[in-house]
Amino acid sequence: MTRVMIFSAEPYDVEFLSAANEAASYELNFQPARLDVSTARLADGYPSVCVFVHDDVGRDVLEVLAEQGTRHVALRSAGFNNVDLEGARELGITVSRVPAYSPHAVAEHTLALILSLSRRVHRAYARVRDGNFSLAGLLGFNIHEKTVGIIGTGAIGTVVAELLSGFGCRTIGHDPLPNERCLELGVEYVSLEELLSASDVITIHCPLTPDTFHLIDRDALARVKRGVVLINTSRGRVLDTKAVIEALKRQEIGYLGLDVYEEEEGVFFRDLSEKVIQDDVLSRLLTFPNVLITGHQAFFTKEAMTEIANTTMANITSVAETGTSPNEVSSGGAGA
């Protein structure tokens, strides 16, 4: 029987993966630990290992897994920047992912961040609970007729463009591969420089690759409109966070909405409410009144979790039976 070791397993992973496993009845072993070189031994004798975004699937870890008989790493995410694909290929380990489980989940969360910031809902929530019904400091702005720049118009960026068309926004996009649906929606493709200088709202939906690491750095931020709304639900390292903090201090960035953070591993997905946060950059970000951070939850809807679990189990079956999967990832690509 196929045995699967599931790393970084949270209670919701147990719920959704167990439901998706009803038909196949594989032996699922849920392990709360994150996969790294020290925990890889837990997967000894497991042909399939299932991982999430903060698991370390680098070469050292893959070598241990391969030596112990693992033949398949099943990502329960779209992004795979945490996997050494070349190493996996050399070691004969198949890597699969869940390519598009619910672009709507991430796109709707993006809209939630834009609207919370533009209408200061995050501030109003705390204020009203404290019995303060004053409107001072809560002045918002309409996103109707504003220019929204979408960096990366793939599956998620396209749904963002669809949703924004309902708000009557002008949308401009930057992507090396423009897509037809966005063109139909009236998205105008422009250079990154033009997008940065023309947008009232900038939202990032490209993968993390060597090309997009710190895509939004000091030079890029020097081009933005003063008071811009900057949203990142893609990967933390696409933004140079220290440069972003400087731009917030100079009030060049008017609002910042993040679902991802450069150093989120070890912080996000954990309850640190009783601990002292040691990351000074994150702590500084949390002090700004115009910054709203969520802890990598954009994907986290019932619909998306069901799809992730079903596709992951289908990938495991496919690799166990045929050695491959339609959702196999090979070296050369990157994609929560």
Q: Please list the active-site residues.
A: 235, 264, 296
Smallest gap from Cβ 207 to ligand NAI, in A, equals 3
**Cα–Cα nearest to 110, from 162, 145, 172:** 162
Rule CB under 6 A: say whether 260 interacts with ligand NAI: yes
Q: How far is the CB of 230 from ligand NAI (least distance, A)?
A: 15
Q: What share of the chain is helix, strand, coil (3-state, %, to 5)?
A: 35, 15, 50
Is residue 100 within the footprint of ligand NAI (CB under 6 A)?
yes
Edge-first strand order for the sheet with 147-151 is 188-189, 170-174, 147-151, 201-204, 228-232, 253-258, 291-293
Q: Give CA–CA dist 316/20, Å, rounded.
A: 11
Binding part of the chain for ligand NAI, among 9-17, 41-49, 201-209, 216-224 by CB under 6 A, reads 201-209
Q: How far is the CB of 127 from ligand NAI (least distance, A)?
A: 28
Closest CA to 70 of 52, 100, 96: 96
Decide: is 4 part of the binding site for ligand NAI (CB under 6 A). Answer: no
Closest approach of ligand NAI to the CB of residue 48, in Å: 22
Of the two residues 23 and 177, which places its CB atom closer to ligand NAI in the complex?
Answer: 177
By CB under 6 A, is residue 207 in contact with ligand NAI?
Answer: yes
Cα Rg of the chain (Å, integer): 21
Q: Which two tokens stand for residue 302?
A: 């019932």
User: Which residue number has the CB closest to ligand NAI?
Assistant: 154
Nearest CB to ligand NAI, comparing residues 64 and 112: 112
Cβ-based nearer residue to ligand NAI, 43 or 106: 106
To ligand NAI, the closest distance from the beta carbon of 71 in angstroms equals 26
Q: Which residues contact 50 (CB under 8 A, 6 or more apart)?
A: 4, 5, 6, 7, 17, 73, 74, 75, 76, 312, 316
| 76/205 with CB nearer ligand NAI | 205
The residues in 137-176 that bind ligand NAI, with binding defined as CB under 6 A, are 151-157, 174-176
The tokens describing 76, both together, are 């329960």
Considering beta carbons, is residue 61 or 204 the nearer one to ligand NAI? 204
- 299 contributes a contact to ligand NAI by CB under 6 A: yes
H-assigned helices in the chain: 11-20, 59-67, 85-90, 103-118, 121-129, 155-166, 180-184, 192-198, 218-221, 241-249, 280-285, 302-322
Binding positions for ligand NAI, rule: CB under 6 A: 78-79, 100, 103, 106, 151-157, 174-177, 205-208, 211-212, 233-235, 259-260, 296, 298-299, 335-336
